[in-house]
Structures are given as structure tokens and as C-alpha cells.
Structure 1
């Protein structure tokens, strides 16, 4: 059963909204338009309003314990309200079918990454990346693309061909986390009784396994490596810094100087861009720290917002995770399981991202509507 059949019909948004959604992967700042929908949160249940209020309170209180409370308050305030605005977008769109135009932007990113690589004569045995999508973000975009395409209203030929292209792209990025997240997402969907996902799970496995037998390439060395790509060193240093600032952390987007392992290389662009001869502009040097994470959601938020902010964020995340699981809807569950796995080794739900983190919170907004429709259906069945 497809998502379209799982959800009752809803009035489509204006055409320009579909275009805006399609362009977000290409021009990520466009998701700032979500702030215009904050008012839609007025329709959520009262219990959810209390929870969101508690989330905001913990995030704001945590800043009082940082070294720079004013800057921390401004940054965490923007981050918190961006999350809430994206949840509101889910309420505004009313159905996940209206977020599917985003796949066209993802197609552009995937194809442009290959074109850029070929035109710049980048060695195809290196890990694939795009002009501004790193290997990991491109790999995770490909994984997300697979989930979304499967549930689109396109024909079978389109779905299979696009999924194969996405899987080849995922393999070329050499992102182990994204590959495992994709399979974990499939498992999440299967657990929700959508057995047709098994076919695509096997398709993934069949296309992922051959790379394990390849040799003499950066991709093979990375995927087959048993290490954590120095993440264990990053985690240890981040935990040590967190212990020095346990209550409120060091401030959101200010963790970089506390993880010297990530600061060693200074400002850097994607591998593809650097091979093409591009260099990091001096104007970006001051913002290196804002883009660095501890490569684990819990450690990253603990370091950034302390135990106060971490608990508030986890309560919000777990609340929506429970909402998604209770929907019995395969696509949101695939996204939940996949993202949760990915957050063990990277941070995909802390904003801003190149579009995938934002999309997660939009799907959280959909859960209010899916759950409401499910409850109404159950009431109707009882009354019949």
C-alpha cells in the first residue's frame, strides 16, 4: 500500500510551494521560508504544546550556563524555532505526498555531482562528492532519495531506474553510515508490515555487496575498514569537554574549538571542489566551528547544550519517534529508523543541513495529521 493510499486526500498547496520544495536541495537557505508557517502550530494538541514549551524552556535555560550566554541564546533560539517552523510546515502540507517534489532537487544534486566529477577529471576510484555536498551528505541524500522515490506516484520503470542510480551514487560516496542507514530504514518499514519493501531491501543488498569484493580503491578501503574513521577520538575529546561544562554545554554551533581533531585541517571544501582547484574563502574561516559536530547526536547536543538542553531535545525527539511508530505508516518509519541509525555516527537532525535534517522535522509534523486520521477511522469503525 502506498503513502497516497494510506492518507486521505488533502488540498494540494499552491504550485509555487511545490517548486520551492523541489529547489530546497539545490538552494538550502530556501527552507527559511518555513518561518512563515509557525502559526500552524496553533492546531496541535494541548499536550504537544506543553511539550514544545518545555523543549523551548530547556534550550533557553541551558544558554545561561555557557561562556557566552547572549550569543548562545540567539543561536539556540533560531535553531529551536527553525525546528518548530518545519514541524509546522508538515501541518501546513497536510500530506507527505506534497513533499515528493523534493526528489527532483535530489536528482539534480546526484546528476550534477557525477557531471562535476567527470568534467573535472576526478579519479572515479576516489569517494564521490559534489561541489558543496560532501561524500557523507551526498550518500545520505541518495539513501533518502531511495525511500522517497519508492513512495512517489511515478511508474515502476522510473522508480527502479532512479533507485539503481541512487544506489550506485551511494556506493561511489563510500559512506558506510548512509548505506547501513538505508538498510536500517528498510527494516523499519518492514516492521510496519509493508512487505513489498523486502524486494527493494534485497535490491540494495545485491548492489551493495559487490563493492565489498573490490580492491585498490579509496572507496573499498573506506567501506571495508573496521575503524570508526577517528570518530572514537572525536567522541572522547567531546566527552572530556562536556564534563567541563556539564550543565549548559559550550553553546550551540560553538563546539568546534573543543574538538581539536576536527579543527586541524582548518576550513575545507568538498573533495570534488578541492580537486577542481577551489579553495576555502578567507571570509568563511571564522565560521569553521559552526559547521563542526561531534559525529554523534547525544554527545554533540550534550557538548553544545549540556544536560539541560540534551534532555529537552531528547524528550522532543522521543515524542515524535513514538508518534511515527504509532502511525503504522512505512515511509515515516523508514525515515525514523534510518535517521536514528545515522545519528550514532553523524548528526542529521540538528539544523541547518543541506535539506535532509529539515525534511525529518517536516515528517514529524505529518504525524499529527496521520495519527488524527487513524483515530478518526478507529472511531468510525467502532460506531459502524
Structure 2
């Protein structure tokens, strides 16, 4: 007896395919997902309970934050946008319909390659650039293109060019997080979908990836050689500052989108994003009023804990646990590739915060397509996945409880000239010199009141004589009468342990 063929899924709302096609290149259209909120009524009761708990976990802490009205409004905005994106996924019903993203991704790839070529950037010494996307965003765009090429189905006529261009953009972006995301997503999708054609595609992709990496190393292409480095490029300093924010508001957090104003250096130094060549366009006046919401903790657990406290953190990971449970129940290769890959990337780059340069939107749309089939008897699995994900993605918080890195012989501060009274918070300058074993170090000067924010970070190298160069640490202070300054010493170019190897603190008073 033959099994009857499964009826084709109903077509999604008419505006969704063109919206998906334009999203990677025009990510400002993300809020249109709010039109899909009515689609949530199709979700099973188990999913409704999870979404309801998430919304509650964001709103309650906001009421006890330092700015309760603003925090409550911003939490509502983020929750509604996430729910709208989940509604888009519910309307799609099938993750394979994400293939519409390929049109916008091709536009992004071509724009990045043409822009990098016309700008005269040396491909051997610089990373791939784009008019309004960072190298990390380009790397994630390449990863999504690879997943679509492997698992979205359809004709090879568009899948092969999309996959090859995505692979090239991923390598030339020089972004290690997206590379790890791409590899994990491919492996996860391959575990679900088996077959000789897919195995051949994965094998060819692996050969091309290995060949591109080998060739790039031989030719000393900076973007590709960077992929072999293990440093965290200053994220440990961001994590350490975020921990101070968490300690300042341990129960409520500071509010959704409000962490950035605690991480931004004092003064009028707003920047939209950091380009591959190290330059950053300055913010127009109306953007400065937003308070730097794009400055992130570079770790989803720290970000959520700092913004919404323990309850908000629990609500997010219960939702993520439900998404992962549903994708394994559905055994959907593309859904698993997108969700697992972006979860890996969010360990050091917050790829789930909306709005984003398209990748967080892709995650929540894929999540919606999976939650549509969440089994009512799976709440135990949801809890297990929530606990596992929280433990895995909270590694900076756990690492902060470890002892500080040891330097042998121990470092010492040979000289420090730091004023304790100044007339203005502008252009505060301190001079410092260390006795250190030979190696690479970073000195970070930060200002602390309720929490700490960075003033300046200097990379330097200690020679064999143990006498490091004289450091000039200059930047603006917070415009408050009294604050504590901390000079932190970090070993190397960055590690997963945010605790500094040395610290010196002093108080500064501003007396005009």
C-alpha cells in the first residue's frame, strides 16, 4: 500500500517573497515583518506558551530598570519585531522558501566585489569591504549563501553561482565567526539530509574552502591569513566592561537597546560602523540621540543579562530551546543549518538581535517555520536545550570567575603620571610605563561610576629588556564631578578570558 503524497504547503503572503529577496541588500525594510503578526495564530499552543513567557520576561525587568518607561517601550519594540519575523516564518511554512534571499545576497556579493575593486583596496593586505556593511556582515552573507546553495533545493543554475560567490565572499571577508558558523551549519544540515549529491556538494565545497585557504596563505592574502588567528580582537575588554554593567543592575538590567550607551567612550565620538580599512563614518545628529544601540556585548548571554537581567536571559534561552527542539523534530536541513550556524556566531557576535543587517531576521524567520510544528509534549526537551545553550553561550561569564592570567615574572608598573584633579573632562592624559616579560600587551584606561566605560586602549610590545615603551593614554572623561579611573593590563591580542592580568585604580575630581 503506497503512502499518499503530502499536499503542497499553502503559498505565503504575497509580499513576503519580494521582501525576502530585497532584505539582504535593503535591510532597513526589516520592520515590514510586523505585517505578519496575525500569522502567529497558526502556531500550536506549546509555541504560544513559550512566546508568552518570552514577552513577559522582557517586560517585567524593564519596569524596574533605571529608565522604566523607555526600557518597557524598547522591549515591546524588540519583542514585536521578533514576533513579526516568526510570523513570516509561519507564513512560509517551509524553510526552503528562504531561497528568495539568494537574489539579495547576489546583489550584496557583487556590490562588495565591485566596491572593493573601485576603491583601490589591495586584496593582499585588506579585507573585503562594502558601502554599508562590515566584514562580519559580509562573512555571514557568504555563509547564508552557502547554506541556501546546499540545502534550499532548486536548480543548480542558480545554486552553484550563489554557493561559489558566497564561499569567495566568506573567505575574503576575513571573519572567523562567520567561517565557524558556515562550517557548523553545513555539518548540521548534512547530518539531516543525506545523499550522494549532497555529499558530493559538501565534498567539493570543502575542497574549495581548503584550497582557497591554502592559496590565500601562500599568497599572504591578509583577509585569509587572519582566519588562522585565535585572538578575540578586543572582545575580552568589551566583555569585562559589560560585566561591570551587569553588576550595576544585577536584577533588572539597563533595558533593551540601552547597553550601548554604557559601552561607548565618553565624549562626542559616535561612529556608525568600522569599515575594513579602519575608518568609520561619523553619526548625523539624529543618530547620536539614540545612544549607540548598535554597540553590543559581542556575546548573546552577556548582552541579554546586561539588558534584561536573569529573567530576561531565561526567557530568551527558553525560546531558543524551543526553536532548537522544533528543528530537530522537523529534521529540516536548511532550518538546522541556519539556526545552528547563527547560534555559533552569536557566541562572539550578537547575530540574534533585531533589527540587524539581515542575519538576525533570517534566524527568526527560520525559527518561525520550525515553531509551527513544535510538538505539545516537548517541553522537557525545550528545558534541556535551554539549559545547554545557556551554559555553552555564557562562556565569558564563566571565564570571568577563573583566576587572572599569570605572567612570569609578574608585571609591575614602573611609572604612572595621572592627574587626580582636572578642570575639564576633555582630553584627560595619563602616562604609564610597565616592567614586563617580552611579548604583546594591551593597556586599557576606563572610567567607572555605576559601571565602567572605555576611554582608550593601546596595543604595545615589551622588548627583551623588560622595559616597555612609555604609554600616552588620552581621552575624554565622563562629565561627572567624581569618577574612578582604572588602568588594566591585558596579555596578548585577546583571549576568551576577560579578566586582566593587572590593574591600578585612582579617583579623579573635575573642578572647573
Shift of 1:181: 0.8
Stretch of structure 1 that moved more, 288-297 or 220-229: 220-229
Secondary structure of the structure 2 residue equivalent to 1:236: helix
- 1:315 paired residue number: 318
Tell whether the 8 Å contact from 1:133 to 1:270 is kept in structure 2 after alignment. no
- 1:151 paired residue number: 151
Identify the match of residue 352 of structure 2 among 349, 354, 357. Answer: 349
**Whole-Å Cα distance in 1 between the matches of residues 235 and 372 of structure 2?**
38
Specify whether residues 216 and 187 from structure 1 end up closer, same or farther in structure 2 by C-alpha distance, changes over 3 A only. closer
Larger Rg: 2
Tell whether the 8 Å contact from 2:264 to 2:295 is kept in structure 1 after alignment. no
The answer as to 2:233 corresponding to 1:234 is no
**Whole-Å Cα distance in 1 between the matches of residues 374 and 355 of structure 2?**
27
Tell whether the 8 Å contact from 1:130 to 1:273 is kept in structure 2 after alignment. no
Tell whether the 8 Å contact from 2:185 to 2:336 is kept in structure 1 after alignment. yes
Q: State TM-score, norm by structure 2.
A: 0.66
Identify the match of residue 206 of structure 1 among 202, 207, 210. Answer: 210
Shift of 1:343: 1.0
Specify whether residues 14 and 76 from structure 1 end up closer, same or farther in structure 2 by C-alpha distance, changes over 3 A only. closer
The answer as to 2:357 corresponding to 1:358 is no
Stretch of structure 1 that moved more, 230-239 or 215-224: 215-224
Stretch of structure 1 that moved more, 190-199 or 300-309: 190-199
Which has the higher relative contact order, 1 or 2, with Cα contacts under 8 A spaced 6 or more apart?
Answer: 1
Please list every run of at least 4 consecutive aligned residues from structure 1 whose deviation after the TM superposition is greater than 6 angstroms. 261-265
- 2:74 paired residue number: 75
Kindly report the root-mean-square deviation, in angstroms, between the aligned alpha carbons of the 2 structures.
2.6
Tell whether the 8 Å contact from 1:324 to 1:367 is kept in structure 2 after alignment. yes
- 2:85 paired residue number: 86
**Whole-Å Cα distance in 1 between the matches of residues 212 and 6 of structure 2?**
32
CA displacement, residues 272-293 of structure 1 (integer Å, 9 cap, x when unaligned): 6986x96543433333521011
Where does structure 2 lack aligned partners over 5 or more consecutive residues?
376-512
**Whole-Å Cα distance in 2 between the matches of residues 24 and 244 of structure 1?**
37
Shift of 1:130: 1.0
The answer as to 2:299 corresponding to 1:300 is no
Where does structure 1 lack aligned partners over 5 or more consecutive residues?
1-5, 373-384
Give the number of aligned pairs.
Answer: 366
Specify whether residues 269 and 123 from structure 1 end up closer, same or farther in structure 2 by C-alpha distance, changes over 3 A only. farther
Secondary structure of the structure 2 residue equivalent to 1:228: coil
Shift of 1:325: 1.4
Q: Pairwise mapping of residues 63-212 of structure 1 onto structure 2 (< 5 A)? A: 63-124=62-123, 125-195=125-195, 196-202=197-203, 203-204=205-206, 205-210=209-214
Q: State TM-score, norm by structure 1.
A: 0.87
CA displacement, residues 195-225 of structure 1 (integer Å, 9 cap, x when unaligned): 5544444323424532562465532453222
**Whole-Å Cα distance in 2 between the matches of residues 212 and 262 of structure 1?**
40
